[in-house]
Structure 1
Amino acid sequence: MTRPPAWLIPLLLASLAGCMPPHQPPPTEAAFTPPDSWRAEGVRASEISAHWWQSFGDAQLTALVEAALAHNSDVLIAASRVEQAREQIRLSHAALLPNLDAVLGAQRTRELSVLGITQTTAVQPSLQLSYEVDIWGRLRRLREAATLQYQASEAERDAVRLAVASTTARAYVSLLSLDRQLHVTRETLESRRQALRVAEDRASLGYTSQLELTQAQSEYEATAQLLPQLQQAIREQEHAVRLLSGALPGAVQRGAGLFAIEPPAVPGVLPSELLRRRPDIHQAELLLAASDLNLQAQRDRFLPQVQVSASLGRLFVNSRDYDPVRVWDIGASVLAPIFDAGRLEAGVNIAVAQRDQAAFAYRAAALEAFGEVENSLSAEGNLRQQIERIEARRAVLERSLTLAEDRYRAGYSSYLETLDAQRNLFNTELTAVQLRERQLNALIDLYQVLGGGWQVADQR
């Protein structure tokens, strides 16, 4: 048999490498450049604690958030995904090492030969080794991609923890808001009860009409109707808070009241730092890098694969009175793709599409992050101004109600003036409670969208 020329093999490898599709860079539309500054004025970079919820000064809020981080179902699921990704690294690393298998073969035959009918029993235990030589680095790239995906799962877990912490804090603040609304409603109900007694006394003496009496009764009942609605809302909010903490429905212990919580200082970071402070953005960045490595590994499939195999064992045959014979073999093979009906090219095209999707996902995450920060900064500033105005209006309405009640008792005005003053003050007090809730929740949102003290360096 004539041996092929020595130059033929390198030429064959070069021709196969030339068939490899060219590397395609990420789409230019996926590029993203952060802004130089925020639209909101006066934003200063500050250090954000990883336990930012403690800055609100409510021990019960801190206890609820920490319980949620330890027992929330979403957090536990995310932690399980991290363990799954860790094992994927082990699988990809194992592909770089040889496989060693123990094999036991047994065979019994009965056949006709020149010596007559013979029966043969053969037993062959052996060890078999197989190994793919990673000449082009394809397996190493897959291992690096698995490592990046593991780090991405850690970033996803941290993003889930941040979301659960902020959701729990908002749910607790909403619960305190409902408590305060119930308190304001009860005080208003007591005020209207007293006004109703005055109206009943004046009606019995003929100093006022039955119309004013029915108006007082109607307002009293309308306020009383709000009590069971608020009590039901409080019960449902308690159950929501306990569900976030991984507990069964039940009562929730309160700490400081809504207005006893002192809003912490407004946190801030530079726009250029935001991309390194958000776990969800870091996750998208890692997935993009992993998809690019997977793309390179798919391109490497166009190159020949070198397989090395070996086996060593003993052969026991009854015709030799089971005198064992050592048997072995060793060999290597080169698998070079020539025709596969477009499978390899389709695999590369799929990997390119997946890489492009990861690039667009990273850009979308970055754009959304900057939009969330801008909205939260704007909301916090505007709510602070609204609270100043509503507090001033409430002080004026309290004075107005006192004057209206004095005039009504002295007979200088009808009950309509008192009723109008009561309505305005009640609605203003409820609005003040809701604005305070929105202010605290806006600060919680701001901590969340700024990454809550998370940084890439903290993950390593």
Structure 2
Amino acid sequence: MSQFKKIIGLMIVLLAFMACKTKAIPTDKDQKPLPERYTNQSDTVNSGSLQWQLFYKDDNLKKLIETALSNNFDLLAAVQKIEIAQNQFRLKKSELLPLVNAGAGIAQRKFGLFTMDGAGNASTNIRPNQIVPEHLPDYQVGLNTSWEADVWGKLKNKKKAALARYSGSIEAKNAIQSILIAEIAATYYELIALDNELDIIKETTALQQAALDIIKLKKEAGVYNELAVKQFEGQVFNSKSFELNILQLIQITENHLNFLCGRFPQAIARDKTTFSSFDFKISTGIPSQLLALRPDIREVELELAAAKCDVKAAKAAFYPSFTMTGTVGFQAFQSALLFQTPASFAYTILGGISAPLLNRRAIKVQFNTAKALQTESLLKYQKTVLNGYIEVANEMATIETLEKTLDLKNKEVYSYEKSVEIANDLFKSGRANYLEVLTAQRTALESKIDLINTKKSQYKASINLYKALGGGWQ
């Protein structure tokens, strides 16, 4: 017995030594820390921590977002992925516990008479004065169990990896929600911008029509010829075709909003008069807050944690496995005797140890794959963090530029509106020709459209900055 124990101990030491001969696990590469701040500001308040209900003030927009959160197909699919990941975690968690099954079986045996079993049974009583039957029935009812002792933490690390991926699926859903809300808000303000463009075009068309009527009267009086009439007519037709294009864009934009809300096309409630009252005030805080607020960064961080656990589990596969199996129940050669205890009571207990020898190459491949996936997850994490910082920096620069541009555009529109008034007055008094009126109207229209587009870009940049700071999923 002592000799047997020595052999088992020697096998364990030898197998453990063989398992340790693996390549070193890759460690995290040195990562440059995030800058302490975006600019010279020292404010630590981050608007990304605001709930979207507080950030967006428009009630019509809030209703659209609420509808989308309930019906959007991408978001609903993300919820199902959370359910899948949760079930995977439960599965890995259950692998740490013994596996117990209940079962019943019926067998019929016949041993050859020229075998040890057959010859022994032919001269053995199974019951007093009853030889073991040549055709021996076997009835069984009971429980069987198996359990692997998680000595090296293989199963525990698989459970940790599944838990990290389950948490990561929640962050993935949050990231989808953040993107969805930002897209709905940007599309909503794009729709309102189109409404305002349509009003400007209608107003301009009316002015052009009035100028055309004057030209026609002056042609009849012999002041102008047909060329002037056609010039003004062409401009009116151009504005009307522009109006039709805007109406088409409005319909397409409405349909896109309805698609994001997971519903068939219908009218979108909105107040176009709110477009001029820009009320987004955003504080960027400090860059390190992105690590906690951005769901995409938290998702890849959890994926990296899961990859690390996968490497540990893959390494543990080199070590010996300790398993225990057993059965307990009732067994008899007649069904009537099956539950007559203690004679029919039966059990088996088996403990075993095994380690890979011939299949070590396959395990090594799996281990190296796990290390490569860990390195890939680390690089993805670093890329996502850098991308988050760049997104914030870009939107901040865009907003700063748009604020200056918007001020200039307002002055530009005011100047061109005055030029149209002056051109019309001079034209009526005969001190300006019709080409000057045409040019002034066309330029004023273009400047007003540019002003609306600049305002729309300002809305979009603010929405994108809020999303880049980690807002929209709370």
Structure 1 length-normalised TM:
0.92
* Corresponding residue of 1:25: 26
Q: How does 1:82-121 map to 2 (within 5 A)?
A: 82-108=82-108, 119-121=135-137
2:228 corresponds to 1:228: no
Counterpart-to-counterpart distance in 2, 1:224 and 1:340 = 77
**One of 449, 461, 465 as aligned partner of 1:430:** 449
State the 1:322 CA deviation.
6.1
2:436 corresponds to 1:420: no
Deviates more, 1:256-265 or 1:157-166: 256-265
State the 1:404 CA deviation.
0.6
Counterpart-to-counterpart distance in 2, 1:15 and 1:165 = 59
**One of 412, 416, 419 as aligned partner of 1:393:** 412
Residue by residue over 1:264-303, the C-alpha shift from the partner in whole angstroms, topping out at 9 and shown as x without a partner, is 1122120122222211001111110110011001000111
What secondary structure, in the 3-state scheme, does the structure 2 residue paired with 1:313 have?
A: strand
Counterpart-to-counterpart distance in 2, 1:447 and 1:109 = 76
What secondary structure, in the 3-state scheme, does the structure 2 residue paired with 1:102 have?
A: strand
Q: Are the equivalent residues in 2 in contact too, given 1:98–1:130 (CA < 8 A)?
A: yes
The alpha-carbon distance between structure 1 residues 437 and 179, as it changes in their structure 2 partners (threshold 3 A), is same
Q: Are the equivalent residues in 2 in contact too, given 1:126–1:311 (CA < 8 A)?
A: yes
2:18 corresponds to 1:15: no
State the 1:6 CA deviation.
4.2
Q: Are the equivalent residues in 1 in contact too, given 2:189–2:275 (CA < 8 A)?
A: no
* Corresponding residue of 1:201: 217
Q: Are the equivalent residues in 2 in contact too, given 1:173–1:258 (CA < 8 A)?
A: no
State the 1:243 CA deviation.
1.0
Q: Are the equivalent residues in 2 in contact too, given 1:13–1:303 (CA < 8 A)?
A: no
Q: Are the equivalent residues in 2 in contact too, given 1:111–1:117 (CA < 8 A)?
A: no
Residue by residue over 1:296-355, the C-alpha shift from the partner in whole angstroms, topping out at 9 and shown as x without a partner, is 010001111111111112123139966752221111000122221501111100100110
Counterpart-to-counterpart distance in 2, 1:353 and 1:105 = 47
The alpha-carbon distance between structure 1 residues 385 and 323, as it changes in their structure 2 partners (threshold 3 A), is closer
Choose 1 or 2 for highest CA Rg: 2
State the 1:22 CA deviation.
4.3
Q: Are the equivalent residues in 2 in contact too, given 1:61–1:255 (CA < 8 A)?
A: no
2:239 corresponds to 1:240: no
Letter paired with 1:24: I
Counterpart-to-counterpart distance in 1, 2:335 and 2:377 = 65
Q: Which runs of 5+ in 1 are unaligned?
A: none
State the 1:52 CA deviation.
3.2
The alpha-carbon distance between structure 1 residues 436 and 219, as it changes in their structure 2 partners (threshold 3 A), is same
* Corresponding residue of 2:71: 71
Counterpart-to-counterpart distance in 2, 1:322 and 1:227 = 91
Counterpart-to-counterpart distance in 1, 2:302 and 2:8 = 39
Q: Are the equivalent residues in 2 in contact too, given 1:387–1:432 (CA < 8 A)?
A: yes
Q: Are the equivalent residues in 1 in contact too, given 2:193–2:272 (CA < 8 A)?
A: no
Counterpart-to-counterpart distance in 2, 1:117 and 1:383 = 98
What secondary structure, in the 3-state scheme, does the structure 2 residue paired with 1:108 have?
A: strand
Counterpart-to-counterpart distance in 2, 1:272 and 1:403 = 56
What secondary structure, in the 3-state scheme, does the structure 2 residue paired with 1:361 have?
A: helix
2:291 corresponds to 1:275: yes
Residue by residue over 1:189-219, the C-alpha shift from the partner in whole angstroms, topping out at 9 and shown as x without a partner, is 1111101101101111111122111110110
Letter paired with 1:163: I
State the 1:14 CA deviation.
3.0
* Corresponding residue of 1:58: 58
The alpha-carbon distance between structure 1 residues 339 and 315, as it changes in their structure 2 partners (threshold 3 A), is same
The alpha-carbon distance between structure 1 residues 112 and 162, as it changes in their structure 2 partners (threshold 3 A), is closer
Counterpart-to-counterpart distance in 1, 2:361 and 2:212 = 87
Q: Are the equivalent residues in 2 in contact too, given 1:59–1:255 (CA < 8 A)?
A: no
Residue by residue over 1:398-422, the C-alpha shift from the partner in whole angstroms, topping out at 9 and shown as x without a partner, is 1111111111111112101111100
**One of 169, 183, 186 as aligned partner of 1:170:** 186
Q: How does 1:344-423 map to 2 (within 5 A)?
A: 344-423=363-442
Residue by residue over 1:212-236, the C-alpha shift from the partner in whole angstroms, topping out at 9 and shown as x without a partner, is 1111011011111112111111011
Counterpart-to-counterpart distance in 1, 2:249 and 2:132 = 95
* Corresponding residue of 1:290: 306
The alpha-carbon distance between structure 1 residues 262 and 317, as it changes in their structure 2 partners (threshold 3 A), is same
Q: Are the equivalent residues in 2 in contact too, given 1:180–1:258 (CA < 8 A)?
A: no
State the 1:184 CA deviation.
0.7
What secondary structure, in the 3-state scheme, does the structure 2 residue paired with 1:276 have?
A: helix
* Corresponding residue of 1:444: 463
Residue by residue over 1:4-37, the C-alpha shift from the partner in whole angstroms, topping out at 9 and shown as x without a partner, is 3644444433332333214423353x72421233
The alpha-carbon distance between structure 1 residues 330 and 110, as it changes in their structure 2 partners (threshold 3 A), is closer
What's the % identity of the aligned pairs?
25
Q: Which runs of 5+ in 2 are unaligned?
A: 114-121, 123-130
Counterpart-to-counterpart distance in 2, 1:116 and 1:101 = 30
State the 1:42 CA deviation.
4.7
Counterpart-to-counterpart distance in 1, 2:399 and 2:405 = 10
* Corresponding residue of 1:153: 169
Residue by residue over 1:145-187, the C-alpha shift from the partner in whole angstroms, topping out at 9 and shown as x without a partner, is 1111111111111111111111110110111111111111111
Deviates more, 1:264-273 or 1:305-314: 264-273
Q: Are the equivalent residues in 2 in contact too, given 1:26–1:355 (CA < 8 A)?
A: no
State the 1:45 CA deviation.
3.2
Counterpart-to-counterpart distance in 1, 2:95 and 2:386 = 38
The alpha-carbon distance between structure 1 residues 195 and 94, as it changes in their structure 2 partners (threshold 3 A), is same
Q: How does 1:110-149 map to 2 (within 5 A)?
A: 119-149=135-165
What secondary structure, in the 3-state scheme, does the structure 1 residue paired with 2:148 have?
A: strand
What secondary structure, in the 3-state scheme, does the structure 1 residue paired with 2:69 have?
A: helix
Q: Are the equivalent residues in 2 in contact too, given 1:407–1:413 (CA < 8 A)?
A: yes
Residue by residue over 1:64-113, the C-alpha shift from the partner in whole angstroms, topping out at 9 and shown as x without a partner, is 11221222111111111111111111111100101111121112357897
* Corresponding residue of 1:339: 358
Name the Cα RMSD after superposition.
Answer: 2.3
